Amino acid sequence: MTLLRCRGLRKTYAGHVVLDGLDLTVDEHRVVALIGASGSGKSTLLRCLNLLEPLDDGTIELDGQDVSDPRVDPDRVRRRIGMVFQSYNLFPHLSVLDNITLAPVRVHGRSRAEAAAQARELLDRVGLAAKADDYPDRLSGGQQQRVAIVRALANSPRLMLLDEVTSALDPELVGEVLTLIRDLKAEGMTMVLATHEMAFAREVADEVCFLDGGWVVESGPPERVLGDPTEPRTRQFLHRIIEARRL
Amino acid sequence: MTLAPPHLPPSPHVPSEAQRRRAAYRRRQTVTSVLVAAASTAVLGTLLVVAVTGAPGWDRVRASFGDPAVARDALPEVLTGLWLNVRLLVCCAAGALLLGLLIALARTLRGPVFFPVRALAAGYTYTFRGLPLIIVLYLLTLGVPGLRLQGMPSVLVLGGLALVLTYGGYLAEVFRAGIESVHPSQLAAARSLGLTYRQTMRHVVLPQAVRRVAPPLLNDVVAMQKDVGLVSLAGPIDAVRAAQIATAETFNYTPYIVAGVLFVLLAIPLIAVTDAVTLRAARRQGRSAR
């Protein structure tokens, strides 16, 4: 079943075209990886999907509902979408537990006790039960990012958007976050993730989309797009990445 | 050949020779610093005392500014006046903080409906930050009662209102700076969780903003403490006005010194709180910056 369908997305910043008629379809329980050079519009696309940025053209359908219609309340749409950012963006004045329960209590109107119990259960699953009462600045980057993922999951989202969630992490901390994403895939979570980790994209994604010039240049199963790309631009991009790794 | 057992408990740390030498050197340095500080303070203090007490007019000045008998007589009145200062400060500081917060929030409202609110709030901060407090005081305490409206509040309340209006303008700008210092990524994170704009302000932006600007806010309250006495221009007798009355009776200025000392004593706890809050904020910032 199709969960997300975008048609002709266009987004410009001060005359600079970032998204130029982009189409993207995501089926339920599927993981789509967005790859592409910095500035190719991966982050912008994710922000547009979460209605954090107004569109300049195009439509976004979530569960068959046109959420790009201005009459739709964006707050209600965002409740169904979880988003995780490159820089974690935990709330520094709230404890780990309060970070996670804020939306369930304030947005979904759950009782504090119920939300806290659910948060502790989620924290336990990601191995951070002992950190519930700590403040974010006492946590490592990898721990903060796992809390950020749990915070998004606490809303029981239909779709998760992950924006280069390992890019700000030290190499030895990347693994713990990727393991968590792997678990989410195993549970059937639908995800769109922007990433620079080609090996991870190959492993976890059902489909890889290569973005360039504001639209999807090439998409398909990871083995084909990453292993045997047909578009010259995709080849060039992958070639550059391999070269960089060799240095 | 013998092998060490694999899990030997760590032996207690014994400082190395180099570390012990460094510690001894630092101890010697500390002793030298304390001695130098004591000597230079003594020299400077002696010079000041000699210069002031040796001045030709010292005896006359001491008689008219430091007469213990006059100080004792003036103390009750000055204290009564000071009690008015304290009460006014508490009420006006609370009022100005509340007004400042409301104005700062009004300036962040978005959407065409709120245009008049935004414009009014901006106009208010421009006007009252520019207008001298004394003029606001005269307008409210002398002008407004002149309207002869029914149920007119007392001059004291009107004077307090003038203080709240003037300081509210400054505090609003401090609050606004705090709100704007919260990084947009915090707003994005809150909105992505489905929080409305209001909920984002209430639960994510304001708590961080207020914590960050608590030191400058308290600093403005310290400044306000000195200005609350200006309501005496309209009649109520505060500490400075009480000292002035006492001075007029005896032609001795000692009551002013009494009032000044009391003001400083009153300010010390407030300043200490401000410093403590600033230090805590700095420590917290330093920790999260890592």
pLDDT at B5 over 70: no
pLDDT higher than threshold 50 for residue B290:
no
Asked whether residue A193 is domain-assigned, the answer is: yes
CB contact under 8 A, B194 and A155: yes
What would the pLDDT profile of B78-125 be if each residue is shown by its tens digit?
Answer: 888 888 888 889 999 999 999 999 999 999 888 889 999 999 999 999
pLDDT band for position B289 (cuts 50, 70, 90): very low
A239 — alpha (psi -120 to 50), left (phi > 0) or beta? alpha
Residue A139 lies in a domain: no
Q: Determine the Cα–Cα distance for residues A132 and A137; give it in Å rounded to an integer.
A: 13
Which residues does chain A have with pLDDT short of 50? none
Which of A75, A79, A89 has its CB closest to that of B188? A89
Residue with the larger pLDDT of the pair B237 and A11: A11
The domain B67-289 belongs to what CATH superfamily? MetI-like (1.10.3720.10)
Q: Which three-class secondary structure string do you get for chain B?
A: CCCCCCCCCCCCCCCCHHHHHHHHHHHHHHHHHHHHHHHHHHHHHHHHHHHHHCCCCHHHHHHHHCCHHHHHHHHHHHHHHHHHHHHHHHHHHHHHHHHHHHHHHHHHCCCHHHHHHHHHHHHHHHHHHHCCHHHHHHHHHHHCHHHCCCCCCCHHHHHHHHHHHHHHHHHHHHHHHHHHHCCHHHHHHHHHCCCCHHHHHHHHHHHHHHHHHHHHHHHHHHHHHHHHHHHHHHCCCCHHHHHHHHHHHHCCCHHHHHHHHHHHHHHHHHHHHHHHHHHHHHHHHHHHHC
> Which pLDDT belongs to residue B285?
58
**B199 contacts A107? CB cut-off 8 A:** yes
Average pLDDT value for chain A: 92
Q: How far is A71 from chain B (nearest CA, A)?
A: 15
CA B287 to chain centroid: 25
Instruction: Please report whether residue A129 resides in a domain.
Output: no
Torsion of CA A162, A168, A171, A174, to 10 degrees: -30
A93 contacts B192? CB cut-off 8 A? no
A234 part of a folded domain: yes
- At residue B73, the pLDDT reads 78
Query: Does residue A100 contact residue A119 with C-beta atoms inside 8 Å?
Result: yes
- The structural domains of chain B, with segments of one domain joined by +, span 67-289
In a domain, A141, yes or no: no
Q: Kindly determine whether residue B189 and residue A50, on different chains, have CB atoms separated by under 8 Å.
A: no
Q: Is A104 helix (H, G, I), strand (E, B) or coil?
A: helix
**HSE-up of B203 (CA within 13 Å, CB side)?**
24
Confidence label for B9 from pLDDT (cuts 50, 70 and 90): low
**Which pLDDT band, with edges at 50, 70 and 90, does B77 fall under?**
confident
Measure the CA–CA gap between A107 and B53, rounded to whole angstroms: 71
Tens of pLDDT, residue by residue over A21-43, are: 999 999 999 999 999 988 889 99
ipTM exceeding cut-off 0.85 for this assembly: yes
Q: What CATH code is carried by the domain that includes residue A189?
A: 3.40.50.300
Q: How many domains does chain A have?
A: 1
Which residues of chain A have a CB within 8 Å of the CB of B189? 83, 85, 89-91
Is A213 in a helix, a strand, or coil? coil
Cβ of A137 and B288 within 8 Å? yes
Q: Which residues of A touch B285 (CB under 8 A)?
A: none
The answer to whether residue A81 sits within a structural domain is yes
Nearest chain A residue to B286 by CA distance is A137
Say whether B186 and A81 touch across the interface (CB within 8 A): no
Residue A104 within a domain: no
Residues on chain B bordering chain A, Cβ-to-Cβ distance under 8 angstroms: 185-186, 188-196, 199, 203-204, 207-208, 211, 287-288, 290
User: What pLDDT, on a 0 to 100 scale, did the predictor assign at position B69?
Assistant: 77
